Amino acid sequence: MTRDYPALSHPPTGPNPCDRCLLRCNPAFLPVTTEELHIIEAFRTGTRAVEAGRPVIEEDRPSPQLYTIYSGWAFRYKTLSDGRRQILSFLLAGDFVGLQDEFAESHTHGVEAVTDVTLCSFARDRLWELFHGQPKLGYHITWLAAREEKMVDDNLVTAGRRNAAERVAMLLMHLYRRAERIGMAREGWVQFPFTQQHIADALGLSLVHTNKTLRRLQQLRLYKLDGGWLRILDPHALQTLGDYFERPLLPTPLI
């Protein structure tokens, strides 16, 4: 059977040196000066590849590294003692990972790869040096942390006040818009590698309730999900249902 969604183009095998970084050519990210680029390159300690389903940061161990995701999808999560998991946020290219632990007395979360991911690594113990010597880049990191906090706030509103259909609608629009912003859309489709369990763990719903809600919204022709690809068929209706009306997404810092 021939499907009507595009084939996934293969991501780069790994990050380039900062002056040849493909993400820095993307208008979704703020430009930096040549001096700032050299500082970021000096701050970077290397690169790392993580296979799908493997930990980027283990929940029960402190990480000496901070990361920028270069390609792929991942998520931050917390696990209760009985094994129940809450997904705190989904992560994709350009997101800065691991900063929360800098201000916590113990390890606060884990990060797991959903697809194969590639990352740029930075030494956590040089973070103050970067803030002190490059206030503008320090502000960029603070901005990224504040954006992450806003996403967590939005997720709290979702879990506390939205019903199941509103939760799913909000999440689908949120992930689609984020992927679209960084150029991941192909003929109206974006890669969507998440299972119903991922969605349930992010929204605080049972797996059965998640399945029923997804099917109902798809029957209403609000979205289409096929072969790991997502297409929003009626953006206005889905946004209205989820009460999700983001302002135009501005270029963001890239560390």
Q: Which residues pair with 65 in a beta bridge?
A: 123
Number of Cβ within a 10 Å radius of residue 80: 8
Distance spanning both ends of the chain, measured CA to CA? 43
Over the stretch 77-119, which tens digit does the pLDDT of each residue have?
999 888 899 999 999 999 999 887 655 555 578 999 999 999 9
Greater pLDDT, 222 or 15 = 222
- H runs (alpha helix) in 120-206: 127-133, 135-161, 164-181, 196-203
* Opening angle at CA 54, ends 51 and 58, nearest 5: 140
Task: Give the integer Cα–Cα distance in Å for 1 and 180.
Answer: 27
Contact call for residues 119 and 51 (beta carbons, < 8 A) = no
Number of Cβ within a 10 Å radius of residue 70: 22
Confidence of residue 249 (pLDDT cuts 50, 70, 90): confident
In sequence order, the 6+-apart residues with CB closer than 8 A to the CB of 127 are: 66, 102, 141
Contact call for residues 92 and 178 (beta carbons, < 8 A) = yes
The predicted model gives 69-77 an average pLDDT of 95
Query: For residue 254, is pLDDT > 90?
Result: yes
Give the rounded percent of residues in the chain with a pLDDT score beyond 70.
90
Phi/psi at 26 (5° precision): -85, 125
For the chain, give the mean pLDDT: 87
Over the stretch 44-56, which tens digit does the pLDDT of each residue have?
999 999 999 999 9
Number of Cβ within a 10 Å radius of residue 151: 16
Task: Give the integer Cα–Cα distance in Å for 121 and 47.
Answer: 5
Confidence of residue 1 (pLDDT cuts 50, 70, 90): very low
Confidence of residue 16 (pLDDT cuts 50, 70, 90): low
Tokens of 50: 């993580």
Tokens of 162: 């939205």
Is the pTM of the predicted complex or chain greater than 0.85? yes
pLDDT of residue 3: 47
Q: Give the pairing of strands 189-191 and 229-232.
A: antiparallel
Nearest residue to 96 via CA among 60, 51, 58, 57: 57
Which range, of 81-90, 154-163, 222-231, averages the lowest pLDDT? Answer: 154-163
Dihedral sign (CA 13, 124, 56, 193): negative
